[in-house]
Chain A
Amino acid sequence: GQQVMQIPQYQHVQEGEDFTTYCNSSTTLSNIQWYKQRPGGHPVFLIQLVKSGEVKKQKRLTFQFGEAKKNSSLHITATQTTDVGTYFCAGPNSGAGSYQLTFGKGTKLSVIP
């Protein structure tokens, strides 16, 4: 079955440093989504990328979708303590019109003030 791999598993950064998490799929994806889960909370949708090579920005967050549509990254510039949480990528399951998502294992971000 489809696998979505995400690295690193953990990242500890000093406040103000940058952070990047990477996501790789075993298959070509029609789209990829990113979620953030705060400690004790539930996943919250951040963004969806659809086009090959697409780059989207949300304030300090930059999302990229690879040219082959098999990898993606999330980059946070100048991290803040509010960025703490686990970031998940997710891709739709294989098969036309699939609505089910396969989640990566997530990257847990800790920010040291």
Chain B
Amino acid sequence: SAVISQKPSRDICQRGTSLTIQCQVDSQVTMMFWYRQQPGQSLTLIATANQGSEATYESGFVIDKFPISRPNLTFSTLTVSNMSPEDSSIYLCSVGGRRDTNYGYTFGSGTRLTVV
């Protein structure tokens, strides 16, 4: 299965600033997914990042707040913009759904963000 390197692993940020999270995959993948997981909660899909096209955002998430880049088939970034304490959460990237992984999804190790 794919190996994902996600960074930073954690950060503490001031409100009003922005943080960019990076995910590097060790193989080429068509789609990458970005999730948010608030403490003790489930995973909520933020957006799907396709190489060569605009990301597709889920209801409640907008590009101005969570801009995504997908410059090639192995890399993506998610920026959390103009942060507020409500953005404190774990952010995870994910790839998968392929036959060679029994269609399971692989997650990065996550970025634990605290906004103060």
| Chain A residues within 8 Å of B, Cβ to Cβ | 1, 31, 33, 35, 41-48, 88, 99-106, 108
Contacts and interface: CB of A to CB of B under 8 A. Distances in A.
A35 B109 CA distance: 14
Contacts of A88: 42-43
Interface in B35-49: 40-45, 48
Interface bracket on B: 20 to 34
Contact of A105 (B42, B92, B104, B110): B42
A17 to B, nearest CB: 23
A33 B42 contact: no
Contact of A42 (B41, B48, B102, B109): B109
B43 A48 contact: no
Contacts of A31: 103
Contacts, number: 52
B64 to A, nearest CB: 21
B36 to A, nearest CB: 11
A12 to B, nearest CB: 15
Contact of A45 (B42, B105, B109): B105
B37 to A, nearest CB: 9
A100 B45 contact: yes
Nearest to A108: B40
A24 to B, nearest CB: 14
Given A42-B109, A100-B33, 4 more contacts: A100-B45, A101-B105, A103-B42, A108-B40
Contact of A1 (B31, B33, B59, B102): B59
Contacts of A99: 31, 33, 48, 97
B5 interface: no
A88 B37 CA distance: 12
Contacts of B107: 42-44
Given A31-B103, A33-B103, A48-B104, A103 B59 contact: no
A45 B43 contact: no
A46 B96 CA distance: 13
